Structure 1
Amino acid sequence: MSHFSIEFFPAKTEVGAGKLREVARRLGELGPEFFSVTYGAGGSTRDRTLGTVKDVLALGYDVAPHLSCIGDSREEIGELLDLYRELGISRIVALRGDLPSGMGRGLGELPYAADLVRYIRERHGDHFRIEVAAYPECHPQSGDLGSDIRHFVTKAQAGADSAITQYFFNADSYFHFVERVRAAGCDIPVIPGIMPITNFANLVRFSDACGAEVPRWVRKQVTAYGDDAASIQQFGEEVVTRLCRQLLDGGAPGLHFYSMNQTEPTLALWRNLGL
């Protein structure tokens, strides 16, 4: 059985929150295994994350809140975990998180994602299914893929159940990463993260910042379309649909869609793939 999930980020306004509830209703009809909700650097979106989690729960769907450990104390993280358990949540996406501006490296009582995973297990045993991050094209702050693999295996050994990758557009990078992980003796499922191509300028800017590679041929083709938004959308949909098919045909255990709080991009991929 393949596993499919969809990610949201917390809306900044009540109007945005209302729109997100409607997006969740529509995408919920597809029957994803769960929705995840992101969490800002140093818990900067803590209240909005919690609000979004409650909204999606109220619609009757399973939710996996993101939880990052940079900048938060064990007590703060523990209280949030206790609250999530009280709300009936049984899945957490455990992340180190981005360093907030002006903060030094390794700040906090739980400086790395593996530390957070261990803490969740210490406090709540096996109650939560724990997802962690994976970086097929190497974490932007990592020196090489070998150290990335070692960090990933450490997270699995700490108690992670499965992983969701940073998005990518080269299927070979995913399959190579999984091969290296398996060779290192780690067998947890690694779910590819899928980013629809919609606003291409924003995608390139974000990709450059987070270390995800947008292939040169894709950039060149989009440039050739100029201001033809319809052609860019169709091309992007074809590229990402093909990527998803390669991944599933190659044995990927499922897909995690970065919805960007929009209905149509994820819906189009879902239909194209016949999920």
Structure 2
Amino acid sequence: MAIHTLYPAERGNLRLSFEYFPPKSDDMEAQLFDTVAALSVFDPAFVTVTYGAGGSTKARSLTAVQRMINDEGFANTAAHLTCVGATKAEVDAVVDEFINKGVRHFVVLRGDPQGGIGARYEPFPGGYENAAALVAAIRAKGDFEISVSAYPEKHPESPDVAADIDTLKRKVDNGATRALTQFFFDNNDFERYLERVRRAGINIPVVPGIMPINNLAGITKFAGLCGAKVPEAIVTRLIHLDESPEERVKEATHIAAEQIVDLARRGLRDFHLYTMNRSPLVAAVCDLVGFERMAPAAAQSRSAGAAA
């Protein structure tokens, strides 16, 4: 098994960010903010809150973002936005609503086709045609942080990686300041992609998206829809552990930690973790890598300062 813990001197200025999704019920809301509290001890540089296609989670996203900023102390909470299922005026109104809630960081995505992943994408009548156009509209409103998506294994709708990188460059030319990648499991794929991105003259941070594997069957199906792959070596390590949940979690922790450590040793300093609104596996990964936990008093002061 690979070395999966960084030495103190290697940890340097590593930074974490976490993705959450808005809750659909009171019970899910409690779980979300229990997770936020549990992971806040790792002092993330920012957190993001997703947004359903066509504004399907608009109210819940707004509420979650507002609570993140005002109650949980995450001033740099990023609100996701998509172009799907809304006119430009409707999207602009949502942007303004987020800004009025204190948002200064957006994650701008085109969004999945209204017919679902795999369906043909068609811009909404009178809407923004793609993420690059929405980036330009938000940039025109002010000096915001704007993160966008990137795909180390190519977006499933792109004809090739070169086209994918051209799309990323248009977003950067229109004002994007950071790219957050789709999850991947082969660091060589990411390194090859990053080399091509840099050769294309794209110099913004490209932050690897890390997905700890809570459920092998679920992540394999999701990866297939997203154009990502789960290497056979990872499948082999997990597939026989379905009936041994403690061992499965331990092995999944090692897999994600090994990926982060290897990327850090290749020079990456920022990591974006997809939490699925669950803290145990993500926290175990962060601990195994060697990310420092804030003292309880410091973590509590973040929320107290927000509430003041």
User: What's the TM-score, normalizing by structure 2?
Assistant: 0.85
Q: CA deviation at 1:54?
A: 1.8
Could you tell me which runs of 5 or more consecutive residues in structure 2 were left unpaired when the two chains were aligned: 1-12, 292-308
- Report if the CA contact (8 A) 1:106-1:112 is conserved: no
Aligned pair 1:11/2:29, yes or no?
no
Distance 1:9 1:94 in 2: 15
- Mean Cα deviation higher: 189-198 or 224-233: 224-233
RMSD between superposed Cα atoms in Å: 1.5
**Aligned mate of 1:49, from 33, 39, 61:** 61
Partner of 1:73: 87
Partner of 1:31: 43
Aligned pair 1:213/2:226, yes or no?
no
User: What's the TM-score, normalizing by structure 1?
Assistant: 0.95
DSSP-derived class of the 1:115 partner: helix
- Equivalent residues, number: 273
Aligned pair 1:150/2:166, yes or no?
yes
**Aligned mate of 1:93, from 104, 107, 120:** 107
Amino acid at match of 2:285: L
Amino acid at match of 1:234: K
Q: CA deviation at 1:104?
A: 5.8
Distance 1:151 1:104 in 2: 17
Distance 1:104 1:46 in 2: 24
Amino acid at match of 1:120: I
Work out the percentage of aligned pairs sharing the same amino acid: 35
Cα distance change on mapping 1:104 and 1:177 into 2, 3 Å:
closer
DSSP-derived class of the 2:42 partner: coil
DSSP-derived class of the 1:29 partner: helix
- Mean Cα deviation higher: 74-83 or 239-248: 74-83
Partner of 2:142: 125
- Report if the CA contact (8 A) 2:51-2:80 is conserved: yes
Distance 1:105 1:35 in 2: 28
- Report if the CA contact (8 A) 2:112-2:121 is conserved: no
Distance 2:64 2:99 in 1: 16
Aligned pair 1:61/2:77, yes or no?
no
Q: CA deviation at 1:28?
A: 1.4
Partner of 2:218: 202
Q: Which runs of 4+ in 1 moved over 4 A?
A: none
Q: CA deviation at 1:189?
A: 0.3
- Report if the CA contact (8 A) 2:39-2:279 is conserved: yes
Distance 2:241 2:277 in 1: 25
- Mean Cα deviation higher: 222-231 or 128-137: 222-231
Distance 2:150 2:58 in 1: 23
Q: CA deviation at 1:226?
A: 4.3
Q: Which of 1 and 2 has higher RCO (CA within 8 Å, sep 6+)?
A: 2
Q: CA deviation at 1:46?
A: 1.4
Amino acid at match of 1:136: P
- Report if the CA contact (8 A) 2:31-2:278 is conserved: no
Partner of 1:168: 184
